[in-house]
Amino acid sequence: MSWKRRQSWRLHPFEEKLRRSRIAMKQCRSMNLWKPHLPLQQRPWQKPQRKSPGRRGRRYRGCRTIWPRCLEARPGVPVTSRISPRCLRRVWNASRAEMSGPYPLMESLLRRLTEGNETVRIEVFGGSMTVGSECCMEQCKMNEGQCAWPTLFGAYLQETFPNSVQLLSYARGGCNLECAETEMVVAQKSANVPVDWIILDFSQNGWGGQDHKLEELIRICHLFLPQTLVLLIYNRDMGSFSHTSRDDKALKILRGVAEHYKLPMLNYENAMEEFSRRGGSQSTMWPRNVQPTAWPDWAYRHPRWAGHAFYADMLAEWVNQQLALLETTPTEARLPLAQLPRPQLRKPKDVTVDEGWIPPLRRHSQQNIEYNAELCLFPLTTHLARNPESHTPLQSPGGQWRLFEDRRNKPGWIVTEKNDTLFFNVSFSGKPKLALQYLRSYEHLGTAEVTIHSPYVWHCKQLGGQGSGKRVWKLPGLWPPRVSITVGATFAVKETSNVSAAEAMGKSEAMVALRLVDGPKFKLLSVISC
């Protein structure tokens, strides 16, 4: 056998392609044509496991992974796994199966990043998984924020585009899409600069109690941030064995909204299933007990650090794909991107309904469904447990209600005695509305009574009409589902209220009082009025 024939067996076709691309990259760097890409944790590629050489040369096996042992003893972000590049390409393609493109707002954002003339701001909204709960356990020297996927993804961006990226995470444990509406509105109220990119990750905590909640949030985002990119990430409880009807319903809602509003959507479940089909170990990312049945019998409710690294890599790979498309776009095609309006932040005085924008997905909906949302779009008073203002009470007069963290990063006004009342001063506009958020769980919680001291007569849809026409309601904290989550109650003025008399009396101020009436404990998270 000749030496040249033996030499042709030495490199796998992919390795030969990689060698040539490295040579081309060196040439591009010398000519200042090289563009930076986000660094995946799999880069530089580790040598994959191979079969023995045969007539067709060396081949990759399935997506085999080798995780470092002693990971928990290491500080900092660990290296992920050794996965063959061919398998990874199929995994990432599976995550983008829901996308159709193109996405001009993303292309415009990347163009500004590559130019390096301004700072791009990203906001992430999600629940406890997005926060990073349980991603680093007993012996781990990293805290939850360090190993969470938003931190990893932000580090990728900042490494590639130094001093050009600012990523803020508004994720909160036990928060679903419904409570995130308030998070987003309050965040934009206190902001001075617009957001370029919003990422929504609520598949584990839920996309709101009603089908229209996601569309409602998208339209609210457009109301305040008309030129901001919104990315949806679909996921499910990967600790369970298979898809459920609840997952099917959530995926159907996300697909419909993404297609209608032309939003990018990444499917984490597709990527994980493709990874498992090709030999990857899902249990290393989302551990379970030996004989899992249903939560809370799983070993972990949330994924470990490896699942978060996989999440961050999935996002980085999509950004890299969009960067590659931008690089190959002809110069004349880039001109429309430069002419796109820059992101803008509308304050209450500037907010108007965009009549020429995409109509609502539901035919029976009104064009301005965002104004009919059951939340305060333009808050006048905000009392937030996680960010109290100077006028926010830290405890009740008797000291039984106190603002503190009973669990890490989960503050609230908490009471365990029934003989004390907590008061909040609030202000109302011409169309008064009051929004409360509190914790509901399956154990160790009771019921609180809320009283609104104002001349108006109120009603609340979330409480099923209980107390309609009155000013006193009961907020139940205990419920059967074995999950702990933030829920909201929005109070609006009834049409039969003597509003004119109240306005004549100059009653724009009011007081909200809460006290524990049943059970061992109650936890309040926010009081907002408008």
Domain coordinates in residue numbering, the chain: 83-347, 375-529
Give the pair of three-digit tokens for residue 217: 């949030």
The fold adopted by the segment(s) 83-347 is: Rossmann fold (3.40.50)
Q: 3-state DSSP call for residue 270?
A: helix
Total Cβ atoms within 10 A of residue 350: 9
Q: What is the mean pLDDT of residues 284-293?
A: 54
The contacts of residue 1 (CB under 8 Å, 6+ apart) are: none
Split at pLDDT 50, 70, 90, the class of 368 is low
Q: Which of 12-21, 176-185, 317-326 has the highest mean pLDDT?
A: 317-326
Cβ contact 327:104 at 8 Å:
no
108: nearest Cα among 345, 344, 341, 358 = 341
pLDDT (0 to 100) of residue 449 = 93
Q: 276-285, 362-371, 392-401 — which is least confidently predicted? A: 362-371
Domains 83-347 and 375-529 share a fold: no
Amino acid at 363: R
- On whether the CB atoms of residues 502 and 353 are closer than 8 A, the answer is no
Query: What average pLDDT does the chain have?
Result: 75
Give every CB contact of residue 491 below 8 A, 6+ residues apart in sequence.
433, 434, 435, 436, 452, 458, 459, 460, 473
Distance between CA 480 and CA 398 in Å, rounded?
A: 32
% pLDDT > 90, the chain: 19
Euclidean distance between CA atoms 49 and 40, whole angstroms: 20
Higher pLDDT: 338 or 246? It is: 246
Residue 143 pLDDT > 70, yes or no? no
User: Which token pair is 181?
Assistant: 């509406």
| pLDDT value of residue 515 | 93
Structural contact between residues 235 and 315, judged by C-beta atoms closer than 8 angstroms: no
Give the pLDDT score at 279. 73
Alpha-carbon distances of 266 from 101, 269, 362, 397, 517, rounded to whole Å: 12, 9, 23, 49, 45
Residue 278 has pLDDT above 80, yes or no: no
CA atoms within 13 A on the CB side of 449: 14
Distance CA 81, CA 46 (A): 9
SS3 state at 244:
coil
State the fold for domain 375-529: Jelly Rolls (2.60.120)
The yes-or-no verdict on residue 265 having pLDDT over 90 is yes
Task: Report the distance separating Cα 527 and Cα 511, nearest Å.
Answer: 11
39 pLDDT higher than 70: no
> 289 pLDDT exceeds 60?
no
pLDDT at residue 418 is higher than 50: yes
Q: Which of 78-82, 88-92, 263-267, 306-310 has the highest mean pLDDT?
A: 263-267
Strand partners, 440: 485
Cα angle 216, 219, 224; round to 5:
125
What confidence score (pLDDT) does residue 196 get?
94
